[in-house]
Amino acid sequence: MLSTFITNTNPNILYASALPPDWPGGFWSHMLIFIVILFVFVILGVMAFIYIERRVLGRFQIRIGPNRTGPFGIIQPVADTIKILIKEDIIPQNADGLLHLLAPAIAFIPTLMIFAVIPLQNGVALVDLNIGILYIVAISSVSVVGILMAGWASNNKYALISAMRVIAQVVSYEIPLALSIIGVVLLTGNLSMNSIVESQNIPFILLQPLGFIIYFIAALAEINRTPFDLLEAESEIVAGFNIEYSGIKFALFFLTEYAEALAISAIIATIYLGGWRGPLLPPILWFLIKMVAVFILIIWVRSTLPRIRIDQVMGFAWKFLLPLALINLLITGLQVITLPDLSQWVIVAINFVVTAVLILFWSKFYRLTGDKKVEV
Amino acid sequence: MKFERYGKGIAKGMALTLKHFFRRPITTQYPEERLYVSRRIRGNQLVWDKNVCNACSACSRACPAGCLIVVTSRDENKKLKVDKIEQDIGICISCGLCVESCPVKCLFMSCDYEKSAYSRKNFILTGEDLMPSEKRIPSGYFSPENESKLPMQTLLIDR
């Protein structure tokens, strides 16, 4: 029944429902411990993701990947980090020194803040905000300010072009991203990340296939992964916004890039794949497995698709993803209101058919400027 | 009504990369793993069979780079013998003319392709250094009888 997965969680939860009551110091000790845990989680996760990316990408390209540093090359990210950190820190002569210094921090901190609301287990999060997903949408778009600052402060034309591109891209893709999340929120009736997971008796990727596709593509554009990596298009604008960065500041940007990928993997695992829910294995392990699966999907896309032009990027967001996200929202709303007692597997079947038909037919309307007219 | 641009190309590309994911890696991890080189390789060291050589110095005269020095003398039976034979692999251009000019087939190119040494002195091979051994296998260049003994070349297309 559709009504079974529209659950009502306690509206009195403001924050920290996972607060262990008998710890000394109450909320503050909980917060301190969790900040340390999350920081270690992000740093180790980024290192693991760098390793996974290099090995898996190698396999996609019929290579082996790094396997010399330690057993199976697992110390490779440590070696990379040390190599980056001991490089000289250079500020260009006419650069805006303060902005140049602040930009990496402003890019990194919001990315780290996303992890505050992601439940690693049932209720295990820094705070279980009742506006969790809204908080994520809001905070994750702040890090683009750091990238604009880096591009502006570097006093370099390539850096500025890159920053301008990424602003246009991220602002455009925010809209389909947020609209596809609203489909999930309609199903759960709740914005809290933990209750989104709790209400997934079947993963929302089955109930919201179109929403998942839109969210996945928009998220790739948000974190500037390969089909949309105009930010650091090596063949066009050298290295993009971080061209004038070296040493620990560059390391922070590098960390941001992978922490964003980690965050997107965690968010997709939470809201579409059922988060920590799963049989047999402990919940935290399920969460990690789902995160790594999403990241391998991201690497798979990276190994396959070439970079697209900026007009194609913008056209795809406004002419393809946005209308489909709106239609998806309409259909989900109609289903929640008019078919609350239908079996959920029937709705899964309906949604898959609707997704296929919508993508097939909307591709007829999708055309870029300068394309030849296609006779219908 | 013709449908295109609904992601068929993307699906095809993803399927292709997925197929590659399960293939055996094409990388050869060089110092540990080696491929068999061409059976007719002109490697950069000469293999000289002392027992067959008739000390005619034709190889030395044929050498365009002047890297092969042969000094001969006559013994008590008025027979030519080799006093000194010297190849400088730093100068050798691996053209194989010396091998082709040998009338008794005592000179071969080797299968060896690792040329580096710590000093230029180590590039100079003299006398017994040039004799065939386990490490210095004569290649099949200009000698079909050697070629048939060597293993077939590894082609990456077969992997």
The CATH number linked to B69 is 3.30.70.3270
The mean pLDDT value for A225-233 works out to 81
Classify residue B52: in a domain, yes or no: yes
Q: Report CA-CA distances (Å) from A294 to A77, A93, A196, A287.
A: 20, 42, 18, 11
Other CB atoms within 10 Å distance of the CB of residue B33: 8
Q: In this structure, are residues A162 and A240 in contact, taking their beta carbons and an 8 Å threshold?
A: yes
Taking alpha carbons only, the member of A165, A164, A118, A160 closest to residue A140 is A118
Other CB atoms within 10 Å distance of the CB of residue B142: 19
Note whether B25 contacts A63, CB cutoff 8 Å.
yes
The two structure tokens encoding residue B130: 């040039």
Among A226, A299, A364, most B C-beta atoms within 10 A, so best to mutate, is: A364
Classify residue A40: in a domain, yes or no: yes
B139: exposed, middle or buried (C-beta count within 10 Å: 0-12, 13-18, 19+)?
Answer: buried
Note whether A359 contacts B26, CB cutoff 8 Å.
no
Classify residue A351: in a domain, yes or no: yes
The mean pLDDT value for A341-358 works out to 84
Q: How far does A45 lie from chain B, in Å, by closest CA?
A: 23
A165: exposed, middle or buried (C-beta count within 10 Å: 0-12, 13-18, 19+)?
Answer: buried
Q: In this structure, are residues A273 and A286 in contact, taking their beta carbons and an 8 Å threshold?
A: no
For B23, nearest residue in chain A (alpha carbons) = A62
Instruction: State yes or no: pLDDT of A215 exceeds 90.
Output: yes
Per-residue pLDDT tens for B104-132? 888 888 888 887 889 988 888 887 888 88
Instruction: State yes or no: pLDDT of A11 exceeds 50.
Output: no
The mean pLDDT value for B83-112 works out to 88
Q: Domain span at residue A137?
A: 2-6+22-365
pLDDT of residue A7: 41
Q: Tell the residue number behind the tokens 């991201």, with chain if given.
A: A298
Note whether B26 contacts A62, CB cutoff 8 Å.
yes
| pTM (2 d.p.) | 0.81
Which DSSP state fits B138? B
Number of domains chain A contains: 1
Among B5, B16, B30, B158, most A C-beta atoms within 10 A, so best to mutate, is: B5
Classify residue B117: in a domain, yes or no: yes
pLDDT of residue A10: 45
pLDDT of residue B146: 84
Which DSSP state fits A318? I
> Residue B121's Cα: distance from chain center in Å?
21
For B1, nearest residue in chain A (alpha carbons) = A376
Classify residue B50: in a domain, yes or no: yes
Q: Which of A61, A303, A305 sits opposite B10 (nearest CB)?
A: A305
ipTM higher than 0.85? no
Classify residue B22: in a domain, yes or no: no
State the pLDDT confidence band at A25, using cuts at 50, 70 and 90: low
The mean pLDDT value for A289-296 works out to 92
Cβ neighbors of B60 (< 8 A, separation 6 or more) are B68, B69, B70, B98
% chain A with pLDDT above 90: 15
Per-residue pLDDT tens for A164-187? 888 888 888 999 999 999 988 888
Distance CA A174, CA A160 (A): 21
pLDDT of residue A295: 92
Per-residue pLDDT tens for B52-82? 888 888 888 898 988 888 898 888 888 888 8
Mean pLDDT computed over every residue of chain A: 83
pLDDT of residue A263: 92
Classify residue B4: in a domain, yes or no: no
For B24, nearest residue in chain A (alpha carbons) = A62
Classify residue B144: in a domain, yes or no: yes
pLDDT of residue A24: 65
Q: Which of A56, A305, A360 sits opposite B13 (nearest CB)?
A: A305
Number of domains chain B contains: 1
Distance CA A182, CA B115 (A): 66
Distance CA A261, CA A219 (A): 9
Note whether A363 contacts B10, CB cutoff 8 Å.
no
Higher pLDDT, A376 or A1: A376
Q: Domain span at residue B103?
A: 46-158
